[in-house]
Amino acid sequence: MKIIEIRGFDLSFLLKEPLGNALTFFRKREALLVQVVTDAGVSGWGEAGNSPHAAGTFIRTRLAGLVLGKSPADFGRHYQAMTSVLGYDRRGAGMMAISALDMALHDLAARMYGISVASLLGGAVRDRLFAYASGPFFRERTDPYREFEREADGYLKRNFRAIKPRGGFSPRADGVMARQLRRLAGPEVALMVDINQGYTARAAIQSAQHMEDAELLWIEEPVQPEDIPGYQTVARAVPVAIAGGEALGNARAFRDFLAAGTFSVLQPDLAVCGGYSGFREIAALARAYDLPVMPHVFGTTVNFHASMQMAAVIEPRRGGGPAPYPFMEYDAMANPLLDLCPPPALDSNGLLAVPEGPGTGLDLAPERLAPWTVGHWTEKL
């Protein structure tokens, strides 16, 4: 079996109203999905993170020729070959392009063998994942937190037992919001707050102090993603765990943060850090530093299904919350690209069943992408 075609799908959809975080407001969301096809008709899916158009160009001009005509079973060799042509772009669009192809190659290889990706990676250690609602998000004008209580109540009614609202508007407002959600959720529900790179180190410390009574499980991305001294300052000043890493593109970047004693929870994104191959390098670092690692997930059904397979093989760690890590991030925005192949329903304990495969368990036909496709390209053998 050999790879004969790589198909790219540029996708986009408009939000009904702007929703945001401390970094930006979303009016539309974009994604690049990649389908890798073999001469036997078997295919696998991958997704690039941020910069979808640049990642697609990198695949077409630099990476496609490295995998076309090759066996999907050699995904490890393909990963080495692809990373060798990155040049200076070791944490940007080039790495996201590799992420999409590596994800698709693993999905394809697992389907070729008739097994799940988790089995391909050595075997799942769990068949259910504790999920958290990634939301609520800011609204424009007046009080950006104004819908948080109503939306969080909706998450609880859907059986979520962990919620990650956005913060970063102001330290004092963060404190009011976090205390309100704690009163709503009660003591048994995990609360985490995502600052989305919005603060200076001093403001992040003030925010953590205002939120202390809410007993947060972690504070995520309190400062800019390359600000190692800022992360050090925050981590040393506050008792709550500091999480981050979604914007870091490879294991070397995580190594620098870990050596500096910054993160308590690592959150690489499969669509950013090199797919399964890159994630596993980061997971090895996490193990060496005795720290928990879990996927960051904010995209389409492709990355979500891939991340479930990755989370299924990660060793359990207790971080003080209602369930052992890893948790599974569940985008709480209205997202038709996540609903293309909807995630499994949460059970009464807030758990998602991990699909058993083949591949990631995703059943996605290209024609289903048509309503959101704004561009399409193909590279052939």
Kindly state whether residues 137 and 109 are assigned to the same domain: no
Residue 358 within a domain = no
> Is the same domain home to 37 and 177?
no
Say yes or no: 185 and 285 in one domain. yes
286-295 tens-digit pLDDT: 999 999 999 9
Residues 125 and 257 in one domain: yes
CA 271 to each of CA 36, 115, 309, 337, 381: distance values in angstroms, whole numbers, following the listed order: 16, 22, 14, 15, 25
254 lies in a domain?
yes
pLDDT tens-digit profile of 217-234? 999 999 999 999 999 999
Q: What is the pLDDT of residue 87?
A: 80
Model pLDDT, residue 139: 96
The span from the CA of 262 to the CA of 223, in Å, is 11
Both 174 and 79 in one domain: the answer is: no
In a domain, 361, yes or no: no
State the average pLDDT over residues 41-58. Answer: 95
| Residue range 271-314, pLDDT digits in tens | 999 999 999 999 999 999 999 999 999 999 999 999 999 999 99
Considering the domain architecture, whether residues 372 and 326 belong to the same structural domain is answered as no
In this structure, is residue 360 part of a structural domain? no
173 and 60, same domain (yes or no): no
Q: Report, as an integer, the average pLDDT of 181-204.
A: 97
Do residues 106 and 244 both lie within one domain?
A: no
Same domain, 103 and 133: no
Whether residues 123 and 97 share a domain: the answer is: no
Return the pLDDT at 91.
75
pLDDT for the residue 50? 85
Do residues 190 and 155 touch, judged by C-beta distance below 8 A? no
pLDDT attached to residue 43: 98
Greatest pairwise CA separation for the chain in angstroms: 59
pLDDT at 68: 98
Residue 316 lies inside a defined structural domain of this protein: yes
pLDDT, mean of residues 44-71: 96
Closest by CA position to 89, among listed 68, 63, 113, 110: 63
Average pLDDT, the chain: 96
3-state per-residue secondary structure call for 292-334: CECCCCCCCHHHHHHHHHHHHCCCCECCCCCCCECEEEEECCC
Half-sphere exposure of 265 (CA within 13 A, CB side): 28
Quickly state the pLDDT bin for 142 (edges 50, 70, 90): confident
> Do 128 and 109 share a domain, yes or no?
no
When pLDDT is cut at 50, 70 and 90, the band that residue 24 belongs to is very high
pLDDT band, very low/low/confident/very high, at 17 (cuts 50, 70, 90): very high
What confidence tier does 49 reach under pLDDT thresholds 50, 70, 90? confident
CATH, residue 315: 3.20.20.120
Residues 198 and 325 grouped into a single domain: yes
Q: Is 92 exposed, middle or buried (0-12, 13-18, 19+ CB in 10 A)?
A: middle
Among 30, 138, 117, 115, which residue's Cα sits nearest to residue 75?
117
- Which one, of 343, 332, 334, lies nearest residue 194 by Cα? 332
Span 141-169, mean pLDDT? 96
Query: Which tokens in the block code for residue 56?
Result: 């697609």
How many structural domains comprise the chain?
Answer: 2
Token pair of 299, please?
């995209």
Cα 254 from Cα 259, distance rounded (Å):
9
Residue 120: partners with Cβ closer than 8 Å, 6 or more residues away? 106, 109, 110, 113
Instruction: Supply the CATH number for residue 16's domain.
Output: 3.30.390.10
Does 182 fall in a domain? yes
- Tell me the average pLDDT across 39-48: 97
pLDDT in tens, 80-123: 999 999 987 767 899 999 999 999 999 999 999 999 999 999 99
> Residue 223 phi/psi, 5° resolution?
-135, 180
Alpha-carbon separation of residue 360 from 44, 118, 303, 351 (angstroms)? 9, 8, 10, 18
Q: Which residue segment(s) compose the domain that 69 sits in? A: 3-114+366-380
